[in-house]
Amino acid sequence: MQTTYASYIHALVGDSGLQKFEKFVEKKMEEEAIVNGVWNFILQHYLGKSARKFLVYPEMRTSDKSGRMDLIVFEAHVGEEALEVNEQPVIILEGKRERGQVGAIKDIRLQLGRYMDAYKTKELYGIGACGRGVVFLRMDGGDNKAFAFQKSQKGRISQGDKPDGFLDIVKDNISIELTLMSILDLPSGEDEEMDE
């Protein structure tokens, strides 16, 4: 059985959990703080499944001081004397209130891309959330490319581009789950092969 954040919500609020979550996001995602809070909730669910340790910092300035990110995730290690945090982030999240998709996806990708460019790292993922919509970016050789993992009708998992639109936080929860699990190197619990 897959444990998506939809299942997590179900465990928290019962049988009608996903419907209640959908009603919540329909009414409440007009505020950026709530969008960021919902994504903090979702990220904590997946970060907690990893054998790796993470710290999530809210409202942190980029390394070059060019902007302030809504959430940034760093990998942490328990050292001999103290907690040690890697200097290079794993995930940067930029959240926006709900608004029309056409301008929002362009704006959020540009802003998130600038934040990602501030870090000279080989592997960095960005999450751009706009209301109930989300786009994932991956820094790959200096290029910020949109991507998401999707499950086909035949049950195979493939990585696809979704540059012209957002995934929906409720309707696309399986694709979002697969993407987050890939980013965090979590096993999916399924014996499916990845399509190239």
Residue type present at position 165: G
3-class DSSP assignment, residue 121? coil
- Per residue in 68-86, pLDDT (tens digit) is 889 999 998 887 888 888 8
- Per residue in 22-55, pLDDT (tens digit) is 777 777 788 888 889 889 988 988 888 888 889 8
CB-CB contact of 43 with 126 (8 Å): no
For residue 174 the two structure tokens come to 């399986």
Q: Residue 162, class by beta-carbon neighbours within 10 Å (0-12 exposed, 13-18 middle, 19+ buried)?
A: middle
**Residue 194 pLDDT:** 38
Please state whether the predicted TM-score (pTM) of the whole model is above 0.75. yes
CB-CB contact of 150 with 157 (8 Å): yes
Residue type present at position 141: G
